[in-house]
Amino acid sequence: MFTTQQSSKSKKQFSRAGTFADLLVGHVRERGGRASSVYGAARIDRRTYSSIISHPFRAVSKRTAIQFALALRLTRKEADRLLMAAGYALSPSIPEDIVFADAIAEGIYDMFKVSARLEAHGMKPV
């Protein structure tokens, strides 16, 4: 017979620790910034940001995760961890990912500059 009651051990498996939302909020707090300045810099609207924070297991697109990584000025290691929490990784075989990885490595976090790089390679800007 199937039971809907979960053991405390299985509940811990699905705790919020390490979710994309938790890491995002943690980075915002760590940098002493305001959420509005971060989602604004990421070019993400307030409703989307609020939905991500309110629903910790909400799926986000790879593009959204990268935009937050750039807005937060994360190092490559930090960006990789944030992307991994969202279920993604930057691939050395995907041209768009190469542009994002290069921007992070070179410390280029300005969305206009990153967009210009993407457009120069015939890709959709952020």
Q: What percent of the chain has pLDDT over 90?
A: 79
Q: Is the pLDDT of residue 5 over 90?
A: no
- The model's confidence at residue 17, banded by pLDDT at 50, 70 and 90, is low
Report the chain's terminal Cα–Cα distance, integer Å. Answer: 50
Q: What's the pTM?
A: 0.82
Rounded Cα gap, residues 31 and 115, in angstroms? 24
126 three-class SS? coil
Q: What is the phi-psi region of residue 107: left when phi exceeds 0, alpha when psi lies from -120 to 50, beta otherwise?
A: left
**Across the chain, what does the average pLDDT equal?**
87
Tokens 């790879």 belong to 62
Buried b (16+ CB within 10 A) or exposed e, 54-70: eebeeebebebbbbbbb
> How does pLDDT run across 43-64, given as a tens digit for each residue?
999 999 999 999 988 999 999 9
> How does pLDDT run across 100-124, given as a tens digit for each residue?
999 999 999 999 999 999 999 999 9
Q: Is the pLDDT of residue 15 over 90?
A: no
Average pLDDT over residues 86-110: 95
pLDDT at 7: 42
